[in-house]
Amino acid sequence: MKSNIYDIHLSEIELRLEASLAGSAANARLELSSSIGIDTVAENYNSTETFRSKVVNKPTGYTVKTGTHIITAPTAPITSTNSTEDFTTTGNQVILGAAGSTYVVSSTITLEKSGELDIVLTDTLTITSVSPIAYGVKTYDVSPDISSLNIQSNEDFSFDLTSTSIGRLLVAIPTADDDMIAIEDSNGNIWPASDFTKTISGGHDIWQLNYDTQFTGSYIKSFTIKTI
């Protein structure tokens, strides 16, 4: 049977479209990312990180204009210059204060081709500090707080523990976030909110397990906080 000239699979069309876009100057872009992996961190964050800037969909025949790939950050090294289409900085001390403070990084690159206008690409990455989630195991306290707990951005409602001392599991969520209904581990075990006592302190809902527990062994135990 003679095949229909219009009978082209959707996947074939997509592949042809991607191939045509890859060489188009209109679709070239610069992507800036960080070793943090997300764009929020816990307030008062202070850590050495790296930043990566890379060209995506570089037009056919274009090259990087010498010394024009630049990443600029608020802390040393304030600028990092390169002549490749994909490079990474090292040793940037990322420091943020109270919730709402930001750390802004930018990158720029110029692509050139003989007989054509230069193409200038830019990108910006803003890292914002937020009220953190805190977790850990501590001795029972009638008025618990988040001191000595592990801290992380409230963008991630999962956390890991290894071995701990005997004590009460505590999870602290910013009061402005949704209410906790349970904690589930990677094995499917569930601790409902009714197993915890909630205390509001310092802008956090602190959930303290009503009985002592202990996590043993060197392997990582992963937990997910379930909210309404």
Q: Which residues pair with 169 in a beta bridge?
A: 137
DSSP state of 174: E
Q: Are residues 91 and 171 in the same domain?
A: no
Handedness of CA 177, 46, 103, 50 (dihedral sign): negative
* Res 17: pLDDT: 44
User: What count of other Cβ atoms lies within 10 Å of the Cβ of residue 77?
Assistant: 14
Distances 213 to 104, 108, 114, 159, 189 between C-alpha atoms, Å? 42, 52, 69, 17, 14
Find, among 103, 105, 86, 217, the residue nearest to 160 by Cα.
217
Strand 119-130 to 40-42 pairing: parallel
User: Do 119 and 171 sit in the same domain of this protein?
Assistant: no
Looking at 80, 107, 130, the residue that finishes a domain is 130
Q: Could you tell me if residue 23 is inside a domain? A: no
Last residue of a domain, which of 130, 161, 187?
A: 130
- Confirm if 104 and 74 have CB atoms less than 8 A apart: yes
**What are the structure tokens assigned to 133, written together?**
């989630």
97 found inside a domain: yes
pLDDT at 2: 45
Residue 21 lies in a domain: no
Q: Provide the residue range defining the domain that includes 214.
A: 133-227
Supply the pTM of this predicted model: 0.71
Per-position pLDDT tens, the chain of length 228: 444 444 444 455 444 444 444 456 789 999 999 999 999 999 899 999 999 999 999 999 999 999 999 999 998 888 999 999 999 998 999 999 998 999 999 999 999 999 999 999 999 999 999 989 999 999 999 999 999 999 998 877 899 999 899 999 999 999 888 899 999 999 999 999 999 999 999 889 999 999 999 999 888 999 999 998
Predicted confidence at residue 77, as pLDDT, reads: 87
Identity of the residue numbered 84: T
